[in-house]
Structure 1
């Protein structure tokens, strides 16, 4: 397996573990005020990163591009900015990081869409030209 899918999957697994522990802590404390941040961690940090990793594992020619490396970096930074950003917005009303994280998340998805349009899905697409 190319190193890029592995990096996406490792990140997804770490974010999922953090999200699960955070969910247990919220449940144990009966304080669910951070549910939006928790949900974004699970959705963008686990689900999207795992989907991206799956795509690159199925489409290795796409994983070998410079854009794919940028995609990983933007995706990782997006999660690391949007989740604490949402938490800060909830706790203190400071929305700057949440807004920045939203733009980074959108950029990551736009890069993914561009990559899929360029490379299709799977190795058969590359063989057809």
Structure 2
């Protein structure tokens, strides 16, 4: 079984790398017209995916659900449609792709909230899966 946390982190790193390269290209060309698309690639592609990966690493029982795979797919689809959709919207070639990507991004964040409420985080999550409860931090 794949580690959903690993896939979120790896995809996030890829998006971050692409965003950095794109930012360097914009800086070198002195053309920042597409910076909103670059920003969304970094924010959803790198930041949100990294946070999602961190959550699933802290809540392994949530990571083992089919819903976690749906969450990953939904987030990847959001980035894959929203980023070029913003480019198309900025260049007056239509806003449909950006709208679809935006709805998918909202769905991804809503699903993230649901996963947190359903599965908990850290110690709370460990207690639900039968793990040992932490009563004090190490060294206390």
What TM-score range do you get, normalising by the shorter chain?
Answer: over 0.9
TM-score by length of 1: 0.95
Structure 2: give runs of 5+ residues left out of the alignment. Answer: 129-140
Hey, what does 2:90 align to over in structure 1? 90
Displaced runs of 4 or more, over 2 A:
126-129
- Bigger relative contact order (CA 8 A; separation at least 6): 1
Hey, what does 1:101 align to over in structure 2? 101
The 2-side partners of 1:92 and 1:79 are apart by: 20
TM-score by length of 2: 0.88
The 2-side partners of 1:64 and 1:101 are apart by: 26
Alignment of 1:64-75 (within 5 A): 64-75=64-75
Deviation at 1:126, TM superposition (A): 3.3
Q: CA offsets per residue over residues 90-126 of structure 1, 9 Å max, x none?
A: 012410000000000000001000000001101x213
Hey, what does 1:5 align to over in structure 2? 5
Structure 1: give runs of 5+ residues left out of the alignment. Answer: none
Which structure has the greater CA radius of gyration?
A: 2
Q: Note the aligned Cα RMSD (angstroms).
A: 1.0
